[in-house]
A and B are shown apart, each in its own frame.
Chain A
């Protein structure tokens, strides 16, 4: 048992470190380091522009999307090299969160299902951040029940004509392309009538409306499709095989390891170390210490679980669904941590204005953003189902609509 790099890993790390040291936008490092869930923005710069510039610089030097093949804009690196890169990139890696949907889900889906000429055309600018992609899956009627979607695609000559609505689409307002899951056959059970496409977001008939979130920010959108035409060659996978295609996307979504999930704990510990309560330093308070200790072992448990997964990668093994626990544990933890940090502030916790609030309002921002982390990419409940079914081997949920044609499935909860 050791934490040492192999000689090749050490050499790769040294090369990556040297390049990052010479090229990263250091003027933003402090701000990025301090930003946490709920607040990754730059005071005097547009974060999307900064992120695109950094991504392009990485791509030009061969450091973008490391594990992708070279011909699609990557480096052909091993999974462990990708992890080493993320460790070395540190806070600058937060900039690539702007591209996480494209790099983490759309890219791998394109790689698995798009035509070769499309891969060569679309993937390099996606890797370099010049073009941003979004994922058009969720709908008002289908959140966790993704396959319950209603957006229609109908064949018309060599094109498909799309009508319907998507929602919770992260980044659609600055995306150039998207992958789109549609219903092509409502007469068969819901999982069997789906088909996947990719499309140009500037196509006529696409309308993006930002949604204002509970936090006040607008990271995601509603997207409306009115007679949008997509050529058949932009279909991903077979007609009716969209569910399998989307599983590739969703598996990739949940496989992101090593990047380190945000728990809010380092921020809370630092805060409590200097906070004075009415009857003395917070860190001397028995109740505070107990809370901190309980979160400390969750945070370290996640850190070392991720290291075990990295070790498996290093040996050429593929980590399995057990890595779902990162999001599950961190999601509710960050919410509880933020709630507790504000409780320690008592009435002052109301104030969220960064110029006025404790720690520039980081915990307030965290609190208001946190409910989203427990939902996005699979709710806590879906994550628990994944662990129960795929890790522990328990039976799948009973699905009463399983064999029912989609257009016979009841759609309202009452009458």
Chain B
């Protein structure tokens, strides 16, 4: 058994960590946080040059053709650095949808552009409140023309193309949903930025008005493709969340060693020690669940749906728990704009919502466990 990343993969993680430490300091993140840029374009191009954007994209489509385990270790570092770039929307959602369901021509058009940093992609699924569900897709598609509103759409304001979930039937079944590929720069859409919990990763509203679109995957297969995309993204996001949890824990630990109160390092108080120990526990459980998700993703195992849901829940909770208590360890300083704690707090809570709420994933997990037990 080797339930761990290989030495090469760990080396890649170290390389990504080194690169991001240098190019993505908290100061750099703040440029985006303070609204001076919609994302860090220089970092984005740097990630492309390093080959990180296309690490899991096959060589024939301009990627490195390494695989999903390699993408997982990079994702962890993106989370640790709190990188203000459209990585999750482009690489986990748009690229994965193309890899699963794209035609050869679609892959040839978009995947090399993703790998080289030229194209930013996203998934337009949500329409206001509600979890991922066919019944919540109201936007319609008829004869390749889309009409409706998607919001929030991650990185929608800076994206070049979107994978759009649309209603093509009215039977009330999953088969009513089909996916479309839309070139957002070709007109037919109106895009508005939305103020959101985590300004380092934008959200937008996209209004589709008689917008021309091409099918992605077979008609009526949309929901089944989306489920696969969300499962893969759940594992990849879990690694970002694990990286973020670790960083929040580290910040809390370092501050507890530095800060003196009542004549002692605050890290010598049992209440503080135990809070940090509990953060370590939740981060460790999340890491282990995520490793299992990574194994299932990289081997395309039948366990993937269950593993993805478990990784999602565990990592979401861990990141929220660590980010929240990191502020608590920092006391009043932790609540200031000046300290970096709130950037992780924002990211943790924003990431908890992006692929559907915790309740959604809890439901998925239980359904999938029941299915396995019944089998």
Known contacts A283-B370, A310-B1, A392-B277; is-contact A297 B265 (Cβ 8 Å): no
With an 8 A cutoff between CB atoms, is A394 at the interface? yes
Is B281 touching A304 in the complex (CB atoms < 8 A)? no
With an 8 A cutoff between CB atoms, is A328 at the interface? yes
Known contacts A2-B2, A293-B313, A311-B2; is-contact A395 B267 (Cβ 8 Å): yes
Q: Which residues of B contact A394 (CB under 8 A)?
A: 253, 256-257, 267-268, 272-273, 276
Give Cα distance in the complex from A298 to B310, angstroms. Answer: 9
Q: Which of A183-191, A355-363, A382-390 contacts B (4 or more CB under 8 A)?
A: A382-390
Q: Say whether chain B's binding surface is mostly helix, strand, loop, or mixed.
A: helix
Tally chain A residues at the interface, Cβ within 8 Å. 50
Q: Which residues of A contact B362 (CB under 8 A)?
A: 289-290, 292-294
- Which of B4, B264, B267, B294 is most buried by chain A, counting CB atoms within 10 A of its CB? B4
With an 8 A cutoff between CB atoms, is B286 at the interface? yes
Q: Which residues of B contact A307 (CB under 8 A)?
A: 1, 3, 288
The digit string for B278-312, where 1 denotes a CB below 8 A from any CB of A, is 10110011101101101100100000000001100
- A275 to chain B: closest CB distance in Å? 13
With an 8 A cutoff between CB atoms, is A226 at the interface? no
Q: Which residues of A contact B257 (CB under 8 A)?
A: 393-395
Is A293 touching B365 in the complex (CB atoms < 8 A)? yes
Is B366 touching A1 in the complex (CB atoms < 8 A)? no
With an 8 A cutoff between CB atoms, is B19 at the interface? no
Is A293 touching B366 in the complex (CB atoms < 8 A)? yes
Is B284 touching A325 in the complex (CB atoms < 8 A)? yes
Known contacts A300-B289, A304-B3, A322-B284; is-contact A1 B268 (Cβ 8 Å): no
Is B1 touching A273 in the complex (CB atoms < 8 A)? no
With an 8 A cutoff between CB atoms, is B373 at the interface? yes
Known contacts A325-B284, A393-B253; is-contact A2 B1 (Cβ 8 Å): yes
Give Cα distance in the complex from A388 to B291, angstroms. Answer: 24
Is A310 touching B370 in the complex (CB atoms < 8 A)? no
Is A298 touching B285 in the complex (CB atoms < 8 A)? yes
Number of A-B residue pairs, CB cutoff 8 Å, is 153
- The residue on A at minimum CB distance from B289 is A301
Q: Which residues of A contact B2 (CB under 8 A)?
A: 1-2, 311, 314-315
With an 8 A cutoff between CB atoms, is B69 at the interface? yes
Known contacts A3-B295, A296-B310, A305-B284; is-contact A392 B253 (Cβ 8 Å): yes
Q: Which residues of A, 311-325, contact B by the 8 Å Cβ criterion?
A: 311-312, 314-315, 322, 325
With an 8 A cutoff between CB atoms, is B143 at the interface? no
- The residue on B at minimum CB distance from A293 is B362
Q: Which residues of A contact B363 (CB under 8 A)?
A: 289, 293
Known contacts A296-B310, A314-B1, A322-B284; is-contact A387 B365 (Cβ 8 Å): no
Q: Which residues of B, 1-21, contact A by the 8 Å Cβ criterion?
A: 1-6
- The residue on B at minimum CB distance from A398 is B268
With an 8 A cutoff between CB atoms, is B119 at the interface? no
Q: Which residues of B contact A304 (CB under 8 A)?
A: 3, 288-289, 291-292
With an 8 A cutoff between CB atoms, is B122 at the interface? no
Q: Which residues of A contact B286 (CB under 8 A)?
A: 301
With an 8 A cutoff between CB atoms, is A34 at the interface? no
- A76 to chain B: closest CB distance in Å? 21
With an 8 A cutoff between CB atoms, is B171 at the interface? no
With an 8 A cutoff between CB atoms, is A329 at the interface? yes
Give Cα distance in the complex from A381 to B253, angstroms. Answer: 18
With an 8 A cutoff between CB atoms, is B369 at the interface? yes
Q: Which 4 A-B pairs have the closest CB atoms?
A: A301-B285, A293-B362, A304-B288, A388-B273
Write the residues of chain A forming the contact surface with B, with a CB cutoff of 8 angstroms.
1-5, 9, 269, 273, 283, 286, 289-290, 292-294, 296-298, 300-305, 307-308, 310-312, 314-315, 322, 325, 328-329, 381, 383-385, 387-389, 391-398
